[in-house]
Amino acid sequence: MKLKDNVKIAVIGLGYVGLPLARLFATKYSVVGFDINESRVNSLKSGTDTTLEVEDDVLQDVLVENPSEKNGLFCTTSLVDIENCNYYIVTVPTPVDRNNRPDLTPLYKSSETVGKVLKKGDIVVYESTVYPGVTEEQCVPVLERVSGLKFNEDFFAGYSPERINPGDKEHTVEKILKVTSGSTPEIGIKVDELYKSVITAGTHLAPTIKVAEAAKVIENSQRDINIAFVNELAKIFNLMNIDTQEVLTAAATKWNFLPFKPGLVGGHCIGVDPYYLAQRAQEFGYHPEIILAGRRLNDSMGEYVASQIVKLMIKKGISVNGANLLMLGITFKENCPDVRNTKIVDVIKALKDYGIAVTIFDPLANIDEVKREYKLETVNTLPTEKFDALVLGVAHSEFLDINFSNLQKDKSLIYDVKGILGTLADNRL
């Protein structure tokens, strides 16, 4: 099935997922990027991506000043600019609330937005990570209600889960194989052809939307469980005074050993997706044990890391109450400004509970965003004072160039959460 020449795509949500996808489609199609965040849209229109996912010169190459251009990306906050599109791709976040229950509010609101401009023959594709059934049972009814159109008669749906890895400049969107699906077999082929036209790594057409939704949610649940296993190993081996990293290095000499490392599991995917699957399972009367056990263990790691730091400070003769500590990094992963669901804040909170004064240095994190989300003060330039303890929480490349001796007191502690400092660190997770 060949794509029609009049393909016009609207990408709803221009964050870490939406912008790279919109930029890629814009190399071949007319694309309108829609976002409700006016400052974000203005920044993109000026040719700057503050998420660092798309390089400024690459973004500027596809930007156009008119939504009617044949090829290129036009960014907007206006509904009028997307009403002539025939493919709507929704890439909004799917977080959990404070009780770790799925929060579908962004999906509902974006579905209402699309519903206001939906026309006969249009296709709405969702990329947001969800549990099986959300697209057809939660989003489609919103589209029908707002548009007044009939699903699978007047308009159609698809699901193609995002696989963006924030901060990864090697596995960019076009180089990651894409799972696709449609609400009918014919629409599945159409959706697949659309993505196949720009994804060089190829596509996999799933038989149903629910299969594609399930495939996505188990990808990150699997990683979460594997990381929980090595985090538990780290706790065990620390009690035995055995270096966990050395154990993993030795075990990795076997060809089929999976190379996971201990650490803090945050972000908008691995730390969230298992809760979506768990809730859906519970709705069907099944209480997932391994999935939730892995989540509990990984969620406990912030306090565990803090307790390990405090124990080492005591062993070094450092007075804990009133000590000053420099936390290197607050984003959820290395070389990325994304602070969503970062577990570094759990470490910081626990350290403050011990009476430790924490200074947070992160050259990539947005100071205002950190303050708004976590009520924490951060700095973007390296402090010049000396500290009782230095904790490498995030493995930003810039941190490898730091002269740690300039930041240390006579008996300062260096703790390496990410295991990248080698002999510089007194200890690592």
What pLDDT, in 10s, does the model give residues 55-109? 999 999 999 998 888 899 999 999 999 999 999 999 999 998 888 899 999 999 9
Stretch 287-298: mean pLDDT: 95
CB 288, CB 295: distance < 8 Å: no
Nearest to 376 by CA among 399, 402, 342: 342
| Least confident segment among 3-12, 38-47, 332-341, 400-409 | 3-12
* Mean pLDDT estimate for the chain: 94
Which among 62, 78, 58, 80 has a CA at the least distance from the CA of 70?
A: 62
CB 391 within 8 A of CB 365: no
Instruction: Give the pairing of strands 123-126 and 87-90.
Output: parallel
- Rounded Cα distance between 103 and 66, Å, is 35
Give the whole-angstrom CA distance, residue 333 versus residue 417. Answer: 12
Q: Round to whole Å and give the CA distance between 256 and 273.
A: 26
- Cα 160 to Cα 167: distance, rounded to the nearest angstrom: 21
CB atoms within 10 A of CB 194: 24
pLDDT digits (tens, 9 = 90+) for 162-181: 988 777 788 889 999 999 99
**Mean pLDDT of all residues in 387-396:** 95
Tell me how far apart the 2 most distant CA atoms of the chain are, in Å: 74
Number of residues assigned to the chain: 429
pLDDT value at residue 3: 62
Catalytic residue numbers read: 269
pLDDT of residue 165: 79
Question: Which residues on adjacent β-strands are paired with residue 30?
Answer: 8, 72
pTM: 0.91
Q: Which domains does the chain have, with CATH numbers?
A: 9-207 (3.40.50.720), 252-428 (3.40.50.720)
> Do 110 and 91 contact (CB within 8 A), yes or no?
no
Structure tokens at 89: 């791709």
222 in helix, strand or coil? Answer: helix
Beta strand 408-416 pairing with 87-90? unpaired
In the Cβ-directed half-sphere of 23, how many Cα atoms lie within 13 Å? 24
Residues 325-378 pLDDT 10s:
999 999 999 999 999 999 999 999 999 999 999 999 999 999 999 999 999 999
CB 124 within 8 A of CB 112: no
SS3 call for 424: helix
Residue 394 contacts residue 333 (beta carbons within 8 Å): yes
Tokens of 337: 């400004």
Residue spans of alpha helices (H) in 284-421: 290-299, 301-315, 344-353, 367-374
- Nearest residue to 351 (alpha-carbon basis) of 334, 331, 382, 327: 327
Kindly give the pairing relationship between strand 387-392 and strand 357-361.
Answer: unpaired
